[in-house]
Structure 1
């Protein structure tokens, strides 16, 4: 039973860190795609959306290639700082962040596209800098959509399995998240533990989805 609560605590930590990373990247990239016109914009959007449709094990393999000991990022981190990401909870955060990023990105882009550009232009006419316009005008008008996307990313991070298992493994108390703990419990025939973990995961995800639904921007009714 103790291992179940340990897995829950680790999953919450991983999901919170992954969601925080996705909020920063998703908001920045969402604003870029919504407000800046440049060649290859839709191609970039498609590439950033790939984690939504690509098998998690494939994403995990790509991450291994990048952050593994022989990968470009992994080798640099090891040689420069002595950091080894593979089979750590930080690797689980990275995997969850990559998988859940499109949820924040899509929600943020959609929310920013609903903000009237004339309101932003009016603020600039008053002498407000572009960054201040974003913080004081754009983001406050789009916050509901961004937060809804962040909640969906949190729920997705809580349930991440394939990519996390590839890069973080299943080390009890260190990298064994809820979804991996469910798999291990089923494999070991520990039905009581599996049932508890499934119940906790399901309740958490349902609550998050209900909150995301309430925060989502209202849909426009066509005449």
Structure 2
């Protein structure tokens, strides 16, 4: 391996892990909220979570810059709390990846919760389970395969995130450069061997993750 190979790859893995965790927390909260109400303003939250699935990455990046830029309310709040803005930091990469992977995580959780038969929920309620007890002791354990699938798909998507990350976090070597943006830079500068080394690593990781998802899907049948 050439010098500097592991840094972008390790940052990509760190961002992918954190984005999957944050996406899980947000998706879980929205799923629980939607299951307990039918108000239209709450249902619109679901649309907001799914929008990044169809938006061009450049639009997502532009929206993130607008929301978290130095002149925005959120940007000023972050800068006053931590002493620096979010743009062009690796945390910007985490936020960008989280926004992009949320649709995958949310859809997996929604599919998992909807797959639970109402008879099972009804029997649990008869036994005294309700509210959070029903959610944590019945719905979550019975949906674990879907939850794990959501984590794997979100991690894989976050690992290769490029467009929104490039706009929001930048491509600073040793600071915000991920494997995907490193590939972009390598191609621009004619270092094709380096580009293929990073690309090959991402291909292998992605293939293994998709293989696991396929095996899990067969286990659901």
TM-score over 0.5 for the pair: yes
Q: State the distance in 2 between where 1:143 and 1:217 align.
A: 15
Deviation larger for 99-108 or 117-126: 117-126
How do 1:6-25 and structure 2 match up within 5 A? 6-25=7-26
Q: 1:211 — aligned with what?
A: 212
**Quick one: distance in 2 between partners of 1:171 and 1:142?**
40
Residue 81 of structure 1: CA displacement? 4.1
Aligned residues: 220
Task: Please give the alpha-carbon distance, in whole angstroms, between the structure 2 residues aligned to 1:34 and 1:151.
Answer: 24
Structure 2 unaligned residues grouped into runs of 5+: none
Pick which of 127-136 and 188-197 moved more. 127-136
SS for the counterpart of 1:3 is coil
CA contact (8 A) 1:34 1:110 kept: no
Q: TM-score, normalised by structure 2?
A: 0.92
Q: 1:111: Cα distance to partner?
A: 0.9
User: Residue 64 of structure 1 aligns to a residue in which SS?
Assistant: helix
Using the size of structure 1 for normalisation, the TM-score is 0.91
Question: 2:186 corresponds to which residue?
Answer: 185
Q: Is the aligned partner of 1:54 residue 2:55?
A: yes
Contact 1:31–1:108 (8 Å) recurs in 2 = no
1:87 Cα deviation (Å)? 0.7
Kindly indicate whether residue 93 of structure 2 is the aligned counterpart of residue 92 of structure 1. Answer: yes
Q: How many Å separate the matches in 1 of 2:82 and 2:92?
A: 16
Unmatched runs of 5 consecutive residues or more in structure 1: none
CA-based RMSD: 1.9
Structure 1 residue 75 displacement after superposition: 1.1
SS of match in other structure, 1:2: coil
Indicate the residue corresponding to 1:156 in structure 2: 157
Q: In the TM superposition, what whole-angstrom CA distance separates every residue of 1:170-217 from its partner, at most 9, and x where no partner exists?
A: 111110001000000001111110110110011111111111222237
Q: In 2, are the aligned partners of 1:27 and 1:146 still within 8 Å (CA)?
A: no
Change (3 A) 1:26 1:215: farther
